Amino acid sequence: MKLLASYPYDLSVVIISFNTRDLLRECLDSLLAECARLPESMAVEILVVDNASRDNSAEMVAREFVSASPESNSRFVVRLISSNVNLGFGAANNVALEQAQGRYLVLLNSDAFFHEGALARAVELMDANPTTGVGGARLVSRDGGWQPSARCFHSIWNDALVITGLSGRFPHSRIFGAPDRTWADPNQAANVDWVPGAFSILRRSALVKAGCFDPAFFLYYEEVDLCRRIKAAGFKISYWPDVVVTHIGGESSRQLSSLTFSKSASQVVKWRMRSTLLYYRKHHGSKARMAYWLEQCLYGIRQLRNRNSSDPTRQQRAEESALMAGLMRQAWQETQGGRISPPRPW
């Protein structure tokens, strides 16, 4: 990624698409409406990277958006980048980021929608805060409910609070509510450790200095790793409550609540575990083994507490715990204790 004296666009908005055609259409319609509210002097390019979707997402974007935004006549240009394999979230973003021609770079999930004026406000705040490398929004659900939007870096302690459920039981405690800063007033701006990738606005110079996403993270932890490197490069990670974005995903618990795991759900859980081990090995070295044993011990205790119960719900909980422990053992083996990333796509 290069720094230039000037850029043809004020913003490059990157959206990763994977089998979310209808939501993606809604996202692009909402984004274009928000772009139209920007000052007339501002130009925006929208880069949609399709990760080998099977639901005709790429065809829909090409037909309904790319052909409708000729570069010579519009301040808002939509471009489609199609991949014949699923690159994962970070690597797919990298493809677009390397081609992006905007002064600022915006990452937007296909299930995320700006509230009126949010995009313009994000640009204003980036202009006013030159030491901010990444800016994050206040994320809300469809019904307006708050979602964790400004988080602390992972640690063995913070992960234990989440897995045991203590962070959810005591959200207003500065100790137990630390992982997602649930103790903090969501209406107060703050400099934080990391912000979710559903929406973020990035300063190009921060990416030049820190690098783009680490492709070792196929899914999960990629934005945590990037924010950590950007902070280490001397930039701030800022949470701005007056930039509001509705986000459909992430409304359920960070831990799967279902007691019955489908094959696909188990696969996603194992991806999270792989990324956990990769993250700890990269940033904390031997603590990757501690992260492994944390989950093994907690799932083992939960299994022992429930397996001899006559209550069917508790028996299912024991089966779930055994499955989770087995998935973590697989993740440890497949990543060699967090030392290697399995070949993509996972």
Domain match, 57 and 175 both: no
What pLDDT score does 72 carry? Answer: 55
**Is 256 contained in some domain?**
no
Same domain, 235 and 223: yes
Domain boundary among 182, 200, 226: 182
Clarify whether residues 226 and 289 are in a common domain: no
- Please tell me the predicted confidence (pLDDT) of residue 255: 35
Q: Tell me, what DSSP letter sits at residue 330?
A: H
Q: What is the largest CA-CA distance in the chain?
A: 70
Regarding whether 324 and 211 lie in a shared domain, the answer is no
Task: Report yes or no: 198 and 250 within 8 Å, Cβ to Cβ.
Answer: yes
Distance between CA 17 and CA 88 in Å, rounded? 10
Same domain, 115 and 130: yes
Bridge partners, 83 (sequence order): 51
The answer to the question of residue 341 being in a domain is: no
Question: Do 217 and 301 belong to one domain?
Answer: no
Residue 346 within any structural domain of the chain:
no
Q: Specify the CATH number for the domain of residue 205.
A: 3.90.550.10
Which residues have CB under 8 Å from 201's CB, separation 6+?
104, 105, 106, 107, 122, 123, 126, 134, 135
271 and 303 belong to one structural domain: yes
Q: By the 8 A CB rule, do 202 and 104 touch?
A: yes
Q: Which residues pair with 146 in a beta bridge?
A: 140
pLDDT for residue 257: 42
Q: In the chain, how many domains are there?
A: 3
- Residues of the chain short of pLDDT 50, as ranges, are 250-259
Amino acid at 339: R
Residue appearing with tokens 């052909």? 67
Rounded to 5°, the CA angle 241-134-226 comes to 125
Q: What is the DSSP string of 73-96?
A: T-SEEEEEEEESS---HHHHHHHH
Range of the domain at 329: 263-334
Strand boundaries in the chain, DSSP class E: 9-17, 44-51, 76-83, 102-108, 112-114, 132-140, 190-192, 199-203, 236-247
Pick the closest to residue 114 from 252, 240, 254 (CA basis): 240
Instruction: Write down the pLDDT at residue 111.
Output: 95
